[in-house]
């Protein structure tokens, strides 16, 4: 039976064309971070995240991000201070808290993101990655990177209604300039 709906396997992720908004957000944030001796950094990174997420699509549907600059700044300042006081040990709990917050404020269709990761998980993953890379002189890097991505994606979900039947593939627009800019600025999937 052909009802005209495409299977989700034929639908791709994409980003809206045009790097102007991203470039402006990046450059202004970079300058403000330098001028404030790093205090603006968490706000800057949150705004870059917002631009990146809100320009991302799965087929005909866009993602949305409503994370507050102030909340991210509070989480980051607390995380940095406690990391210094604990000689870096709290850093893993800070990264986990910030990652959970960012996913809780990421939406797709009617669903909200959720990331079930703890500081202990991040510490174990980092140690595994560090020792695995060191002990194999970097040869295990591809397998370790794959393991780390799988580890995070297994803990990532979207909760709520998503109408997959209404999602269709849209024609690609623009060019690969955004991908090139993201590569130059080393912006990957910041999990």
Percentage of the residues of the chain whose pLDDT score is greater than 70: 85
Position 27 scores a pLDDT of 96
Q: How far apart, in Å, are the Cα atoms of 127 and each of 31, 75, 132, 150, 189? A: 34, 23, 8, 16, 20
111-115/106-108 β-pairing: antiparallel
Which pLDDT score is estimated for 8? 60
Residues 6+ apart with CB under 8 A from 183: none
Instruction: For residues 6-15, give the mean pLDDT.
Output: 75
> What's the mean pLDDT in 65-82?
98
How confident is residue 170, by pLDDT bands cut at 50, 70 and 90? confident
Predicted pLDDT at 18: 81
Residue 107 and residue 77 in contact, taking contact as beta carbons nearer than 8 Å: no
Q: What is the pLDDT of residue 189?
A: 45
Domain positions in the chain: 8-113+162-184, 118-154
Give the pLDDT of residue 2. Answer: 46
Average pLDDT over residues 171-181: 62
Q: Give the dihedral of Cα atoms 67, 68, 73, 74; nearest 10 deg.
A: -100
Give CA angle at 187 (99, 72), nearest 5°.
35
Strands (E), the chain: 13-15, 56-58, 61-65, 106-108, 111-115, 156-159
**Residue 1, pLDDT score:** 40
pLDDT band at 187 (very low <50, low <70, confident <90, very high): low
């Amino acid at each position: 039976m052909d009802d005209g709906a495409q299977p989700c396997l034929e639908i791709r992720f994409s980003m809206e064309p045009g790097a102007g908004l991203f470039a402006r957000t990046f450059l202004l944030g970079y300058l403000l971070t330098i001028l404030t001796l790093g205090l603006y950094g968490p706000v800057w990174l949150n705004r870059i995240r917002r631009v990146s997420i809100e320009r991302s699509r799965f087929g005909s549907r866009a993602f949305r991000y409503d994370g507050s600059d102030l909340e991210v700044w509070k989480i980051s300042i607390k995380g940095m201070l406690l990391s210094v006081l604990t000689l870096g040990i709290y850093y893993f709990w800070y990264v986990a808290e910030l990652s959970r917050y960012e996913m809780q404020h990421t939406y797709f269709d009617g669903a909200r993101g959720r990331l079930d990761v703890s500081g202990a998980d991040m510490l174990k993953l980092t140690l595994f990655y560090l020792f695995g890379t060191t002990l194999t002189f970097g040869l295990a890097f591809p397998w370790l990177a794959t393991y780390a991505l799988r580890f995070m994606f297994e803990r990532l979900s979207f909760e709520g209604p998503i109408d997959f039947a209404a999602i269709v593939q849209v024609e690609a627009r623009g060019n690969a300039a955004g991908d090139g800019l993201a590569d130059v600025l080393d912006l990957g999937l910041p999990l």
